Structure 1
Amino acid sequence: MQGMGGGDCPFEFNFDAVTFKVGDTVSYRIVGSPMFEDMPFAGELLEVHEDHVVIAGDSSDRSVRYRGTRENRPNVQASEI
């Protein structure tokens, strides 16, 4: 991320939920756990639905998937992790 070790962020995020498409990288938050609530995470969209998205939780294991809200910075419930 910018300001952390000098250099640009290695990710290009889509922060516009209206234009989400499979393959986009999004910044998401995990809610429902004090340990994660203030930390941003990055993930690739695997599915985009009218009312939710499915985010790759592990870039090296496509079977790890999190259901998130469809908003500019999706929220994933801690129970999904």
Structure 2
Amino acid sequence: MQGMGGGGDDCPFAFNFDAATFKVGDTVSYRITGNPMFEDMPFVGQLLEVHDDFVVIAGDANDPSVRYRGTRESRPQVAASEI
């Protein structure tokens, strides 16, 4: 994601968009579904757990209790009810 910073700097995140290679600690871009206010906004989180059909994402780097269950796909989807 080049040129995303205000001065033309590159994005500070290195995302894994390959769901087949997800592992704990990967940084992912995820979406929140079910709430029109958030549906067009990308969010960044770190994978805490990787399962066959879902992932658990750290929703707040400063609060380890904030965890979201998301789909296991290139850009995981988190239901608004998880937030």
Shorter-chain TM range is over 0.9
Within 5 Å, which residues of 2 pair with 1:16-27? 16-27=18-29
Q: Distance in 2 between matches of 1:42 and 1:68?
A: 12
Query: Which aligned runs of 4 or more in structure 1 are off by greater than 4 angstroms?
Result: none
Structure 1 equivalent of residue 33 of structure 2: 31
| 1:57 and 2:59 correspond | yes
Q: Deviations over 1:39-80 (max 9, x none)?
A: 000000000000000000000111100000000000000000
Q: Secondary structure at the match of 2:81?
A: helix
Give the root-mean-square deviation of aligned CA atoms.
1.0
Query: 1:41 is aligned with what amino acid?
Result: F
Output the CA distance in 2 between the equivalents of 1:55 and 1:3. Answer: 23
TM-score (norm: length of structure 2): 0.94
Q: How far, CA to CA, are the matches of 2:19 and 2:71 in structure 1?
A: 10
Which consecutive residues of structure 1, in runs of 5 or more, have no partner in the other structure? none
TM-score, normalization by structure 1: 0.96
Deviations 1:1-52 (CA, angstroms, capped at 9, x unpaired): 6334120000000000000000000000000000000000000000000000
Quick one: percent identity of the two aligned structures?
78
Q: Determine the C-alpha separation between the residues in 2 that align with 1:3 and 1:15.
A: 18
